[in-house]
Chain A
Amino acid sequence: MSIGTLYDKVWDLHRVTDLPGGSTQLFVGLHLIHEVTSPQAFAALEEKNLTVRCQERTIATVDHIVPTISQKRPFSDPLAEEMLATLEKNCKKHKITLHGIGSGNQGVVHVMAPELGLTQPGMTVACGDSHTSTHGAFGAIAFGIGTSQVRDVLASQSIAMNKLKVRRLWFDGQLNKGVYAKDLILHAIRKLGVKGGVGFAYEFSGPAIHALSMEERMTICNMAIEGGARCGYINPDETTFSYLKGKPNAPDEKEWGKAIKWWESLCTDKNAKFDDEVLFDASQITPTVTWGITPGQGLSINESIPFPESLQESDRPIAKEAYSYMQLQPGTPIQGVEIDVCFIGSCTNGRLSDLQAAAQIAKGRKVAKGIKAFVVPGSEQVAKAAKDEGLDNIFVEAGFEWREPGCSMCLAMNPDKLEGRQISASSSNRNFKGRQGSSSGRTLLMSPAMVAAAAINGKVTDVRKIINENQL
């Protein structure tokens, strides 16, 4: 059993009571809602004649279903329009703040909340979306929940949960140039497996982690769930505090000292006990790309599609499924695999620094012929900041499409979809069969800079070559 970790401390502070059946009732400090998983929850609430317990701790935005080409209302898809209209109606009725389209704050829920300073260290954060783990980057305990739990949190601002074990993933050294947070997390998932984190919270720490910016930290915690961990977190530090300072919902100047003191007190103790510890050397991590149908099927850019014999027995059936679905043969180098579509965006890699990294590669180059490449900022704030720097022009000149903010092709609950057997280079987080909107569509996950490099060359490329040759 873990003792003295941030997870333990936050858990204890938010524990309301033990429930029959063995779970614990946990207070939820921030509840984020969106159009996909909230409508049924509101309906169930009304069916039971209940109201929203803490309107001011519930914040809404719209992201999954919004089109990214024209966001004019009503949307051309009547189902999408109905979902947004329902969210608007529910928020109005229950007096919940909705950061809607055109508000300047709309965005993918996991991009929007940190930007507004809503996500803070030591909070419990819940949202009806599995990538809620993103918010752990701030030292919050943040987890995705199902629709019936959305209803529970709306009704009671709390949730029934079982305590997780804590595994520390310690990263020594530093990431090399051309290697990004995305590579680090893809590498960790590859090593520990997509089920490796089941039953665990992941604490990411070590010098390589604390050298990262907040946006990079969010990329890492975002994909904790792909490693099977319900939540991932990073102990808050100076980087966290200076990111938060001055954000709209952050504590005021007057209270700032008090806030920092509390946040620091929650950090994992020096002599804390973990249920498990794993050590990585960040300097050994290389650009990493997935080749298969789970995020755990990753390869270093210089490797080839594995032969079944080289895999553990338990990994072979899914590998076989992947060869045929992906139409990639064992022994094929991943570098050079031709692609059709390039997608830069999502709550994993749709933030300003992601677009900057991709733009650095795209600048002055051209998207290869026949490739469809597009950039979808994670939020209206990201879009604005990127435009202020002229990133949109860099992309457009290179032949990328510049879109409006939303989840886009990450899960394709909107018009952005792969077609037929198209294969994409994506900065998103899931490469499951059919994930990007075509039941035979294929996805290679990689960092945004790698996606840009793939767009320029029309095939999977080692971004470090472009960086080194051009002394970027």
Chain B
Amino acid sequence: MKTNFPNGKISKVTGKCIVLKGDDIDTDRIIPARFLKCVNFNSLGEQVFADDRIELTGNHPFDKNHNQGASILIVNDNFGCGSSREHAPQALMRWGIRGIIGQSFAEIFYGNCLALGIPCAIAPSSKIKTIQASVESNNKMNWILDLQQKTIQSPKESWSISIEKGPLEMLLSGKWDATSQLIAQEKKLTEVMYKLPYIKNFK
């Protein structure tokens, strides 16, 4: 399991790809509700897709030997829909995922990924399917998700992907980490706060 979580400027994700097929994969499937009862996110990596994996007894992509250590997840349409739980991207990140490519992502899931420094890139359905086929035909290959070039490439192939402008800038400049952005505005924040009459209970 990788522990070096995303940090600073993010322009590339490198490593093996893992393919997870299916539309509308919701956050309940990514991390079932019973795992929300926890005081930290540490064990979420092992619990990712828990129920699907039990059902497929070892045949789930996240269990297959050749996928271990993969860092780029290739999904289909409307990935991450359903409840807003941040546990879902946390679980993926703690399993090792550092970048996702899909046809589309649910809005809150997308935002939660960005807040963790995980880029979500998109490509049309047919292209996603080609990439998935290519990954599956040679599952040992190393890939580069290049945010600057907007490509996903192996030593043999390269496809263009797209990524929203705002999030892209945030990742490239290292400004995806909302906390430090917010803390940086301390002076302005204090000004705004003391103009609000309720802060001193109208005294």
A binding-site residues for B, Cβ under 8 Å: 13-17, 19-22, 25, 27, 29, 36, 39-40, 43, 48, 50, 65, 79-80, 82-83, 86, 120, 122-123, 130, 144, 146-149, 151-152, 155-160, 249, 251-252, 255, 258-259, 262, 413, 434
Q: Chain A nearest CB: distance from B200 CB in Å?
A: 9
Chain B residue numbers with a CB within 8 Å of A122 are: 196, 198
- Which chain B residues in 31-60 approach chain A with CB under 8 Å? 33, 36-41
Chain B residue numbers with a CB within 8 Å of A27 are: 189, 192-193, 196
The 8 Å CB contact of B182, one of A15, A21, A160, A259, is A160
Contact mask B149-182 → A, CB, 8 Å, 1/0?
0000000000000000011011001011011011
Are A155's CB and B192's CB within 8 A?
Answer: no
Residue of B nearest to A259 (CB): B202
Bound CA span A17–B202, Å? 24
Chain A residue numbers with a CB within 8 Å of B112 are: 146, 148
Q: Mostly helix, strand, loop or mixed at chain B's interface?
A: helix
Q: With an 8 A cutoff between CB atoms, is B137 at the interface? A: no
The 8 Å CB contact of A160, one of B167, B178, B193, B197, is B178
Are B181's CB and A157's CB within 8 A?
Answer: no
Are B196's CB and A36's CB within 8 A?
Answer: no
Bound CA span A238–B166, Å? 44
Bound CA span A16–B183, Å? 11
Are B170's CB and A156's CB within 8 A?
Answer: no
Are B178's CB and A255's CB within 8 A?
Answer: no
Residue of A nearest to B115 (CB): A148
Q: With an 8 A cutoff between CB atoms, is B144 at the interface? A: no
User: Assuming the A-B contacts A20-B170, A146-B84, are A79 and B37 also in contact, with contact meaning beta carbons closer than 8 angstroms in the complex?
Assistant: yes
Q: With an 8 A cutoff between CB atoms, is B201 at the interface? A: yes
Are B39's CB and A82's CB within 8 A?
Answer: yes
Q: Mostly helix, strand, loop or mixed at chain A's interface?
A: mixed
Bound CA span A201–B49, Å? 33
Q: Chain A nearest CB: distance from B155 CB in Å?
A: 33
Q: With an 8 A cutoff between CB atoms, is B185 at the interface? A: yes
Apart from A29-B196, A155-B182, A156-B182: 10 A-B pairs, beta carbons within 8 A: A13-B196, A80-B37, A122-B198, A146-B84, A152-B178, A157-B189, A158-B182, A160-B182, A255-B203, A413-B36
Are B37's CB and A413's CB within 8 A?
Answer: yes
Chain A residue numbers with a CB within 8 Å of B85 are: 146
Chain B residue numbers with a CB within 8 Å of A48 are: 179
Chain A residue numbers with a CB within 8 Å of B182 are: 25, 152, 155-156, 158-160
Are B41's CB and A29's CB within 8 A?
Answer: no
Chain A residue numbers with a CB within 8 Å of B169 are: 20-21
Chain A residue numbers with a CB within 8 Å of B189 are: 16, 25, 27, 156-158
Are A39's CB and B178's CB within 8 A?
Answer: no
Q: With an 8 A cutoff between CB atoms, is B195 at the interface? A: yes
The 8 Å CB contact of A86, one of B39, B86, B166, is B39
Chain A residue numbers with a CB within 8 Å of B179 are: 48, 50, 151-152, 155-156
Q: With an 8 A cutoff between CB atoms, is B64 at the interface? A: no
Are B188's CB and A147's CB within 8 A?
Answer: no
Bound CA span A27–B112, Å? 20
Q: Chain A nearest CB: distance from B104 CB in Å?
A: 15
Per CB-CB distance, the 8 closest pairs between chain A and chain B, nearest first, are A255-B202, A156-B182, A39-B39, A21-B166, A146-B86, A251-B202, A21-B170, A147-B86
Chain A residue numbers with a CB within 8 Å of B41 are: 40, 43
Residue of B nearest to A48 (CB): B179
Are B196's CB and A14's CB within 8 A?
Answer: yes
Bound CA span A400–B147, Å? 60
Q: With an 8 A cutoff between CB atoms, is B123 at the interface? A: no
Could you jot down 15 A-B contacts, CB within 8 Å? A20-B181, A21-B166, A25-B189, A39-B38, A40-B39, A43-B39, A83-B37, A83-B39, A122-B198, A148-B112, A152-B182, A157-B189, A251-B202, A255-B201, A262-B202
